[in-house]
Amino acid sequence: MRTTSNHRFARQIIIVGIQAVVLCLWYAATLLAQSPLRYPAPTREADDTPIAAYKQRRQALMATMSNRSIAVVFSADTRNRQNDVEYEYRQSSDMLYLCGFPEKESMLLLVPGGMTFEASLNAKRYEHILFVAPKNPQRELWTGVQYGAEQAQKTFGLDTVLHIASAQEVLKRIAPLRDTLYYGTIPTATAKEPIFGAGVQFEQSMRNGLREAFADVVVKSNSVTISRMREIKDAEELRLLRKAIDISCAGHRAVMQSAQPNMFEYEAESIMEGTFRKLGAEDVGYGSIIGAGVNSCILHYTSNRNRMKKGDVLLMDCGAEYHGYTADITRTIPVSGVFSKEQRIIYDIVLEAQDSSIAMCRAGVNRNAGHTRAVNVIRRRLLELGIIKNPEEYIWYFPHGSAHNIGFDVHDRHVRTVFEPNMVTTVEPGIYIPEGSPCDKRWWNIGIRLEDDVLVTNGEPIILSAGLPRKADDIEKLMKKRK
């Protein structure tokens, strides 16, 4: 008898306890939802791309489309680092190019000729439509201010800005009236599950979904068309790219003026990237490659954890990102301040290869011509030095291509095979001879790459990174001024 009533009593206590906890949580949630905290809208930096330039680019893209088509452009996904930590968000390059809107969970819809949202005859027509995440004070408290639809429309000059939740509905309204739906680069096209390696094809499944929803509409990617536009830089792009390049040159210069034997590669990295940040760069355009000694022979060495020794060369392939645009610059310097005889010989070959390649960055020239020239120089010189016995062995020591576009991406997509004015390409030959290579060991552990960013014009190529010493003598001269 007694035990049953004890039981009943204990159960009652538990129930009351649970009710109290639920009540407290409910109260806290209610209070939080009524939080009076509000953040000011985000602002754009004064020197960022003018809104008119985005509009011009969108109109240029729409000029490639018929009035029977529409196009969607996606924002980037967030990338998970581990557990509940995400990598810092960076907008997709196509969104940055076409509207500059920086937030996740957004989408651009282009409707040549426009669409209406009302039945009336003189209803307003919308061509440039942006979808954004709604403003949410709880989210803003944790991860920063958001534009929200209203402010985004004021700031980015689109015809209208709607909530991302309405995107499907709007597509259902307009797509059946058109014959083609273009989509741009999709943020995560494929993924692999870890055991059987089966690919998850997001692009495929999105396309299938669209084809099912809009049976009579042709669904295809126009990311090549957008890349083709991005390949020729407009005046605003050149201005910001130059800024990214100038900042990057300053970073390289700062390391040249402070590198010392016994320093760690990561100390050089901190000087490089610290300078980028100090000069206003938001980020690096790619992981900094800073390798001394044998690490100079690893093309994409990014751990940067080793100590540099007196006789080493230090290879630095680093570029700052400024307002979305990235530079891509490589210099190789002697840790001691003076190149050894062998290092100097290899350095001058790479410089000769680079010079002969840069000379080919001209409108009308095939973009492989420069690389062919660089190969010819390096092959001939390596044969002369007896480092290779057979001409084709050059590939052991110069195993990569030596030119690519830069812009929003450090490797901007190539579409044209022939140079045109206002393309910006890198020129980056290199020679890498790690320890154990089948040649005289006096050449071992010399890895040298030189990379500059070159603007193609109607006349002479312009080396945008020319402000940074490129000749061995000039590097040694600058390094003499070290503290």
| Residues at the contact surface with Mn ion, assessed by CB under 5 A | 328, 426
Q: Between 185 and 330, whose beta carbon lies closer to Mn ion? A: 330
Q: Is there a contact between 103 and 143 (Cβ–Cβ < 8 Å)?
A: no
Q: Closest Cα partner for 285 from 140, 139, 424?
A: 424
Number of Cβ within a 10 Å radius of residue 23: 10
148 sits in the region (left: phi over 0; alpha: psi -120 to 50; else beta) called left
CB of 404 to Mn ion, least distance (A): 6
Q: Between 275 and 426, whose beta carbon lies closer to Mn ion? A: 426
- Bridge partners of 7, per DSSP, are none
CB of 426 to Mn ion, least distance (A): 5
The rounded distance, in Å, linking the Cα atoms of 451 and 255 is: 16
CB of 472 to Mn ion, least distance (A): 21
Q: Between 296 and 426, whose beta carbon lies closer to Mn ion? A: 426
Strand duo 199-201 + 289-292: pairing:
unpaired
Residue 442: enclosing H or E segment and its boundaries?
none
Q: What is the DSSP letter of 68?
A: T
H helices within 279-431, ranges in order?
341-358, 369-384, 394-397
Strand duo 329-334 + 424-427: pairing:
unpaired
The CA-atom distances, in angstroms, between 220 and each of 69, 211, 262 are 11, 10, 55
Q: Between 129 and 333, whose beta carbon lies closer to Mn ion? A: 333
What interhelical angle do 51-62 and 148-156 show, nearest 10? Answer: 90
Radius of gyration of the chain, Cα coordinates, nearest whole angstrom: 28
**Residue count of the chain:** 483
Q: Between 255 and 329, whose beta carbon lies closer to Mn ion? A: 329
Structure tokens at 350: 């790479």
Q: Between 184 and 407, whose beta carbon lies closer to Mn ion? A: 407
Q: Between 328 and 412, whose beta carbon lies closer to Mn ion? A: 328
Q: Is there a contact between 463 and 238 (Cβ–Cβ < 8 Å)?
A: no
CB of 320 to Mn ion, least distance (A): 14
Cα Dmax for the chain = 105
H helices within 175-284, ranges in order?
202-213, 223-231, 235-256, 265-278
CB of 364 to Mn ion, least distance (A): 24
The rounded distance, in Å, linking the Cα atoms of 269 and 265 is: 6
Q: Between 406 and 479, whose beta carbon lies closer to Mn ion? A: 406
CB of 82 to Mn ion, least distance (A): 29
The rounded distance, in Å, linking the Cα atoms of 147 and 166 is: 17
Structure tokens at 332: 């190789």
Report the residue closest to Mn ion, judged by CB.
Answer: 328
CB of 250 to Mn ion, least distance (A): 19
Structure tokens at 388: 């290779």
CB of 305 to Mn ion, least distance (A): 22
Structure tokens at 94: 């196509």
Q: What is the DSSP letter of 182?
A: E
CB of 451 to Mn ion, least distance (A): 5
CB of 200 to Mn ion, least distance (A): 31
Who's near 301: CB < 8 A, 6+ residues apart? Answer: 289, 290, 291, 295
Q: Between 72 and 289, whose beta carbon lies closer to Mn ion? A: 289
Q: Between 299 and 369, whose beta carbon lies closer to Mn ion? A: 299
Q: Between 265 and 328, whose beta carbon lies closer to Mn ion? A: 328
Q: Between 231 and 328, whose beta carbon lies closer to Mn ion? A: 328
CB of 402 to Mn ion, least distance (A): 9
CB of 428 to Mn ion, least distance (A): 5
Is 176 in a helix, a strand, or coil? helix
The rounded distance, in Å, linking the Cα atoms of 298 and 160 is: 49
